[in-house]
């Protein structure tokens, strides 16, 4: 297959509720949708970058630049033999995993449509439905967060993750545990602490958390290994795992007991699958994380989470938890048991609503063809 045309769309979509983490609050999600064309078929991907470099160094501007000026030209006239790690063509570009992932997803979708298989089938997924959870941001008042936990539990989510940061941590978790003694609960610090906070973080051991996600620096493994030796709560890494190799090293270094796999963060669906495979061999449980994706990135995440090693509920929630109107039809829905059905149709398995993309697009450019 040759990619005949590649288009980028910069979207800005209003969130139904603001989302606050230790690095800031957002009320809109900016993202890049990738549209790839070949042989009369269209494939879709998403580079779920943000407007600002808070979670990672990649932003809409850097990903646009890297895709337009380096990655897309590399694909010109190239025959891609089969669905696989397209990101391998991109090894001449250091880093920028989200830019690479967006293109790899779109090409995987193209192959899936050509072969009339679902994304899940293309990746080797085995689940018909995936167990899922929700990620709740920092609020102005603890009462507001308790209300949102209440609502999410009633909607059936199988576990609830709350964001923490210094001064919004132990007391908040204690308040949630008091109201919901047996709720499957975890906390995500988004790199807000240092090893000097170990004694404070150890207080979280009293609350039976499933895990604490990324307590320390975004590119650290050594201090996470030290911290894990000092606390009982299992450490899950997110920001620290920027590639398959990072994941392998983290396991060897005992820097974590769980890994949050995000295909955008590790460079694409095939690197994500490889990481899932090594974690299965090493008995490290994994779950599928998210980056507030539109329905397009969300469909890719659902397919990834259908692989057998994704045993823990992830951060793939219903479209309505983020959007008034999603860019796919039907929207992603969570059933009463806290599961999402894995679509069986070819490719994404959802219809992309091009007029919605147009409505939320700030910019569109053909970067190949």
Q: Tell me how far, at minimum, the Cβ of 26 lies from ligand OSB, in Å.
A: 8
What is the Cα–Cα distance from 167 to 292, expressed in whole angstroms?
A: 25
Q: Tell me how far, at minimum, the Cβ of 23 lies from ligand OSB, in Å.
A: 8
* Of residues 177-236, those binding ligand OSB (CB under 6 A): 188, 190
Residue number, 169 or 188, with CB nearest to Mg ion: 188
Contact of 307 with 125, CB cutoff 8 Å: yes
Residue number, 130 or 292, with CB nearest to ligand OSB: 292
310 near ligand OSB (CB under 6 A): no
- For residue 289, which phi and psi values (nearest 5 degrees)? -85, 180
291 near ligand OSB (CB under 6 A): yes
Q: In the annotation, is 12 catalytic? A: no
- Closest by CA to 36, choosing from 72, 77, 78, 84, is 72
Residue number, 38 or 214, with CB nearest to ligand OSB: 214
Report DSSP state, residue 319.
Answer: G
Q: In the annotation, is 76 catalytic? A: no
* Of residues 44-63, those binding ligand OSB (CB under 6 A): 55
Partner from ligand OSB, Mg ion, none contacting 191, C-beta within 5 to 8 A by type: none
By rule CB under 6 A, what count of residues binds ligand OSB?
11
User: DSSP string spanning 211-236?
Assistant: -EE--S-TT-SHHHHHHHTT-SSPEE
109 near Mg ion (CB under 5 A): no
The continuous run of DSSP H or E covering 260 comes out as strand 258-261
Partner from ligand OSB, Mg ion, none contacting 168, C-beta within 5 to 8 A by type: none
The continuous run of DSSP H or E covering 364 comes out as strand 361-368
Length, in residues, of the chain: 369
* Of residues 17-46, those binding Mg ion (CB under 5 A): none
* Of residues 200-259, those binding Mg ion (CB under 5 A): 213, 238
* Window of 75-83, 87-95, 193-201, 283-291 that interacts with ligand OSB by CB under 6 A: 283-291
Q: Tell me how far, at minimum, the Cβ of 322 lies from ligand OSB, in Å.
A: 7
**Which residue has 């999410």 as its token pair?**
152
Q: Which of 132, 135, 233, 339 binds ligand OSB (CB under 6 A)?
A: 135
Chain-centre distance for alpha carbon 259: 12
Q: Which of 188, 220, 246, 293 binds Mg ion (CB under 5 A)?
A: 188
Partner from Mg ion, ligand OSB, none contacting 58, C-beta within 5 to 8 A by type: none
* Window of 103-111, 201-209, 220-228, 290-298 that interacts with ligand OSB by CB under 6 A: 290-298
290 near ligand OSB (CB under 6 A): yes
What is the Cα–Cα distance from 219 to 216, expressed in whole angstroms?
A: 9
Angle between helices 295-305 and 97-114 (to 10 degrees): 80
What is the Cα–Cα distance from 95 to 267, expressed in whole angstroms?
A: 8
Residues 6+ apart with CB under 8 A from 266: 97, 101, 241, 242, 243, 244, 246, 247, 272, 275
Q: Which chain residues interact with Mg ion by CB under 5 A?
A: 188, 213, 238
Residues that bind ligand OSB (CB under 6 A): 55, 135, 188, 190, 238, 289-292, 315, 317
């Amino acid at each position: 297959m040759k990619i005949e045309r590649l288009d980028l769309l910069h979207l800005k979509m209003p969130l139904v509720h603001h989302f606050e983490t230790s690095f800031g609050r957002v009320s809109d999600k900016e993202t890049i949708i990738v549209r790839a064309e070949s042989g009369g078929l269209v494939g879709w991907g998403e580079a779920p970058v943000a407007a600002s470099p808070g979670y990672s160094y990649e932003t809409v501007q850097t990903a646009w630049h890297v895709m337009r000026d380096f990655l897309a030209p590399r694909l010109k006239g190239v025959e891609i033999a089969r669905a696989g790690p397209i990101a391998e063509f991109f090894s001449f570009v250091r880093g920028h995993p989200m830019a690479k992932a967006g293109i790899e997803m779109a090409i995987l979708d193209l192959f899936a449509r050509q072969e009339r298989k679902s994304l899940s089938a293309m990746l080797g997924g085995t689940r018909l439905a995936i167990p899922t959870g929700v990620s709740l941001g920092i609020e102005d008042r603890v009462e507001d967060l308790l209300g949102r936990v209440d609502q999410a539990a009633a909607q059936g989510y199988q576990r609830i993750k709350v964001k923490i940061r210094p001064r919004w941590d132990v007391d908040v978790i204690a308040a949630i545990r008091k109201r919901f003694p047996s709720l499957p609960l975890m906390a995500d610090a988004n790199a807000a602490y240092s090893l000097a906070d170990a004694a404070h973080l150890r207080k979280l051991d009293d609350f039976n958390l499933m895990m604490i996600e990324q307590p320390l620096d975004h590119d650290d493994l050594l201090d996470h290994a030290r911290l894990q030796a000092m606390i009982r709560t299992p450490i899950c890494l997110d920001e620290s795992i920027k590639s398959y190799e990072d994941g392998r090293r983290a396991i060897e270094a005992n820097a974590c007991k769980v890994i949050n796999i995000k295909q955008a963060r590790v460079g694409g669906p095939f690197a994500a699958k490889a990481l899932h495979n090594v974690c299965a061999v090493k008995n490290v449980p994994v779950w599928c994380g998210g980056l507030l994706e539109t329905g397009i990135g969300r469909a890719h995440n659902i397919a990834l989470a259908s692989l057998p090693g994704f045993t823990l509920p992830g951060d793939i929630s219903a479209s309505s938890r983020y959007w008034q109107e999603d860019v796919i039809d039907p929207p992603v829905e969570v059933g009463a048991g806290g599961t999402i059905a894995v679509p069986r149709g070819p490719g994404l398995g959802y219809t992309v609503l091009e007029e919605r993309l147009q409505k939320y697009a700030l910019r569109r450019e053909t970067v190949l063809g």
